[in-house]
């Protein structure tokens, strides 16, 4: 280490202030609710090699810290003072941009002609063209349907705006003024960071700044390795599912094999399903990518709350991500709903670690972040208004020492809700309900978090609703260590009316004025035996209106009675009821749907099919997977499938 510890801590504080200050600039100057209210943006400072050496924990999105600017910066060489680069293109940036609405801006910072750092920001912008307003349709079948692709290009050259780039950005959006406002906020942020970093150089000297950047990265790596060393060496496997690809009812399986050896950890995604025909793909180009293992990053940061949050944390982690799989799709696969994959990988990686350190791992949370977007026509200007109604998360998973968080999952805890007052000011909509849902938390010694209900009424003719990332309508968030699975989500149109309709996952919805769209998110899974939960905690849930009396007895064995007009625990009857309940030895509770599915499609069969599919060109794999599933249903009629059965079906259809 070149910097003494006291000075390094001082420099770290300065850097954190600069990076967080960039975020505050975006919060104060951005135009759209999804940025300034829901906080779907991020800021950081990067080394000259493109690694983030400081990344704020408390401002904006927290899931990009392991990515690199290297390839995007190389595409714009030579770089000069005053240049600002913009991009949203996943394939040509090694997944720096993860889908097209995430627009990245970064500025090289020079001292006496030497590149010493980059200031970086991204926002999720309102619309970049494509099939639907807000640009993300789960049913898009290639990236060209998802909107404008911006390869790394200079938005500013030597401090002057690049008029040609500004022109094509404005021409390819349904809401160009909203986008421009958010782009300008990012430009203001990186310019502010440059000024403050140069002030730091003048105070400490350029060599001290350069040394401290590398030392912070090394410290992040060292402390991450110490956390990983506490995990028992071994290989741990787990898989989880998305409900479907929206073209069939065949689930999407994400499997991981985690190998821990000393301070190193390897994640092998070779048994993941192939890239799908729709937008549920995550571009990594086979490189290490923080979206693959965000659950592991959060585990490390939680285990060492004082670790420097930077790309050094990811150095002990390696990945295997074969081309043509969900986690390394081949161009031009659609990628708009890539965060759905990220959230399920969060569950899968932590599920694998739960086999090694169950008391350190939470049960599954809601596993979705359904970004509900309303678009209405702007008759006066001939464009469209757009606003995020809410980022609909759900309950967090219970933990060994606490209940799951209500209404927000660990995997998307960085997103904030949009205040109803702000939403209704920005767009024509009337929110009827935004509340926690009773009887949705997975029971446990520590229950899961409760789900959310959102009901909103359509006001304008020609309104369009999208809700990418909606999941867990079929497969429950799993319970852990004896805890029970959380509740499923659902979607309805006009609940409680004569024309009430249950809907599938929303891709694009065209409701009429007066229609009410109702979305229920999933609840989190529980941790530990529900019969060991303190009856007074159960009573509190009932009194709060989040748990019914019957559910208290059925799920927790807690009997309640009214005494002097007050609801209290009947201790004697509770003890009797609990004594009659059988002891549950089940470590996992996957819920009825997954249990039934895996009784037929065993992990052995799914692993075998995933491997066989890798022998085909990527564009053919999803169709062949669907064919094998259909043939298996016809041939074996619900029998548990083995690897040899899959090989037989495969050989018959070569």
Q: Give pLDDT, residue 382.
A: 75
pLDDT bucket at 436, cuts 50 / 70 / 90? very high
Summarize the confidence of residues 447-451 as an average pLDDT: 97
Residues facing 111 on adjacent strands: 114
Give the C-alpha separation, 605 to 607, whole Å: 5
Q: Which two tokens stand for residue 580?
A: 């009659």
pLDDT in tens, 76-128: 999 999 999 999 999 999 999 999 999 999 999 999 999 999 999 999 998 89
Residue 123, classed as helix, strand or coil, is: strand
Is pLDDT above 90 for 652? no
pLDDT of residue 322: 97
Above pLDDT 70, what percent of the chain?
Answer: 100
Torsion sign across C-alpha atoms 480, 486, 488, 489: negative
- Please write the tens of the pLDDT for every residue from 317-330: 999 999 999 999 99
User: For position 57, what pLDDT does the model report?
Assistant: 85
According to the 3-state scheme, what is the secondary structure of 394-408?
A: CCCCCCCCCCCCCCC
DSSP string, 23-79: HHHHHHH--SHHHHTT--EEEEEE-TTSBEEE--SSSS--S-TT-BSHHHHHTTPSP
Q: Is the pLDDT of residue 50 over 80?
A: yes
pLDDT at residue 418, rounded to an integer: 85
The answer to whether residue 610 scores a pLDDT higher than 80 is: yes
Kindly calculate the radius of gyration of the chain based on its CA atoms and give it in whole angstroms.
Answer: 25
Mean pLDDT, residues 212-220 taken together: 97
Q: Would the pLDDT of 426 be above 90?
A: no
Chain-wide mean pLDDT for the chain?
94
Task: Note the pLDDT of residue 103.
Answer: 96
Question: How far, in Å, CA of 396 to CA of 403, rounded?
Answer: 8
Q: How far apart are CA 632 and CA 636, in angstroms?
A: 6
Residue (of 59, 241, 132, 308) closest to 610 by Cα position: 241
Q: Residue 417: is its pLDDT beyond 90?
A: no
Is the confidence at residue 14, as pLDDT, over 80? yes
Instruction: State mean pLDDT over 396-417.
Output: 89
Distance CA 412, CA 416 (A): 9
Instruction: Please tell me the distance from the alpha carbon of residue 376 to that of residue 429, in angstroms, as a whole number.
Output: 9
Neighbours of 24 (CB within 10 A): 15
Task: Say what the pTM is.
Answer: 0.94
Cα(36)–Cα(617) distance, integer angstroms: 43
Residues 6+ apart with CB under 8 A from 428: 376, 385, 459, 460, 463
Please give the structure tokens belonging to residue 99. 């889908």
What percentage of the chain reaches a pLDDT higher than 90? 85
pLDDT beyond 80 at 585: no
482: left (phi over 0), alpha (psi -120 to 50) or beta: left
Rounded distance between C-alpha atoms, residue 50 and residue 217, angstroms:
12
pLDDT at 410: 81
Q: Which residues contact 201 (CB under 8 A, 6 or more apart)?
A: 111, 116, 209
Q: pLDDT class for 478, splitting at 50, 70, 90?
A: very high
pLDDT of residue 112: 95
CA dist 173 and 386 (Å) reads 11
Judge whether 373 and 389 are in contact, CB under 8 Å.
Answer: yes
CA angle 476, 480, 485 (to 5 degrees): 25
Domain residue spans of the chain: 5-223, 367-529, 601-652
Q: What is the pLDDT of residue 572?
A: 95
Tell me, what DSSP letter sits at residue 134? T
Closest by CA position to 489, among listed 518, 456, 515: 518
Give the tens place of pLDDT for each residue, 20-35: 999 999 999 998 878 8
């Amino acid at each position: 280490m070149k910097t003494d510890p006291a000075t390094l801590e001082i420099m770290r504080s300065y850097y954190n202030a600069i990076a967080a200050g960039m975020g505050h600039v975006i919060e104060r100057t951005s135009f759209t609710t999804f940025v300034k209210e829901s906080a779907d943006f991020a800021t950081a400072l990067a080394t000259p090699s493109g690694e983030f050496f400081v990344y704020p924990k408390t401002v904006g999105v927290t899931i990009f810290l392991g990515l690199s600017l290297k390839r995007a910066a190389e595409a714009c060489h030579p770089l000069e003072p005053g240049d600002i680069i913009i991009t949203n293109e996943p394939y040509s940036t090694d997944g720096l941009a993860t889908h097209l609405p995430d627009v990245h801006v970064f500025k090289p910072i020079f001292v006496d002609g030497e590149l010493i750092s980059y200031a970086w920001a991204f926002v999720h912008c309102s619309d970049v063209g494509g099939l639907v307003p807000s640009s993300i349709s789960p049913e898009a079948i290639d990236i060209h349907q998802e909107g404008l692709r911006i390869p790394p290009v200079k938005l500013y050259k030597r401090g002057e705006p690049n008029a040609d780039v500004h022109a094509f950005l404005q021409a390819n959006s349904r809401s160009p003024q909203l986008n421009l406002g958010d782009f300008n906020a990012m430009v203001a942020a990186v310019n502010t960071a440059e000024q403050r970093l140069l002030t730091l150089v003048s105070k400490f000297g350029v060599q001290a700044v350069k040394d401290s950047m590398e030392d912070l990265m090394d410290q992040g790596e060292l402390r991450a390795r110490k956390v990983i060393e506490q995990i028992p060496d071994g290989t741990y496997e787990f898989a989880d599912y998305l409900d479907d690809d929206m073209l069939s009812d065949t689930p999407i399986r994400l499997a991981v094999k985690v190998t821990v050896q000393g301070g190193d950890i390897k994640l092998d995604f070779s048994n993941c399903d192939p890239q799908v025909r729709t937008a549920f793909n995550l571009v990594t180009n086979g490189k290490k990518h923080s979206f693959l293992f965000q659950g592991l990053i959060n585990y490390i940061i939680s285990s060492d709350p004082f670790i420097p949050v930077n790309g050094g944390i990811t150095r002990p982690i390696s990945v295997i991500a074969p081309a043509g799989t969900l986690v390394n799709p081949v161009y031009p696969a659609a990628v708009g709903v890539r965060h759905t994959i990220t959230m399920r990988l969060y569950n899968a990686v932590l599920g694998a670690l739960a086999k090694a350190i169950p008391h350190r791992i939470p049960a599954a949370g809601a596993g979705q972040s359904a970004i509900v977007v309303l678009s209405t026509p702007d008759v006066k200007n001939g464009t469209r208004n757009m606003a995020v109604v809410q980022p609909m998360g759900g309950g967090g998973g219970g933990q060994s020492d606490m209940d799951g968080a209500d209404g927000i999952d660990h995997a998307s805890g960085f997103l904030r809700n949009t205040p109803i007052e702000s939403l209704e000011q920005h767009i024509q909509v009337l929110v009827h309900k935004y509340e926690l849902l009773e009887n949705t938390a997975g029971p446990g010694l520590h229950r899961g978090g409760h789900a959310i209900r959102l009901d909103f009424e359509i006001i304008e003719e020609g309104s369009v609703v999208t809700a990418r990332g909606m999941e867990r309508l079929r497969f429950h968030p799993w319970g852990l260590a004896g805890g029970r699975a959380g509740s499923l989500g659902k979607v309805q149109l006009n609940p409680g009316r004569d024309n009430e309709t249950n809907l599938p996952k929303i891709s694009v919805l065209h409701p009429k004025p007066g229609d009410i769209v109702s979305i229920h998110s999933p609840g989190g899974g529980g941790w530990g035996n529900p019969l060991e939960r303190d009856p007074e905690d159960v009573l509190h849930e009932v009194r709060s209106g989040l748990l019914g009396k019957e559910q208290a007895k059925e799920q927790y064995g807690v009997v309640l009675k009214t005494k002097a007009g007050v609801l209290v625990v009947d201790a004697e009857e509770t003890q009797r009821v609990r004594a009659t309940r059988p002891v549950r030895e089940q470590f996992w509770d996957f819920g009825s749907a997954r249990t039934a599915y895996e009784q037929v499609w065993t992990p052995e069969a799914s692993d075998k099919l995933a491997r066989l599919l890798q022998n085909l060109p990527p564009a053919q794999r999803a169709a062949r997977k669907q064919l094998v599933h259909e043939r298996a249903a016809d041939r074996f009629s619900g029998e548990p499938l083995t690897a040899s059965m899959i090989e037989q079906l495969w050989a018959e259809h070569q």
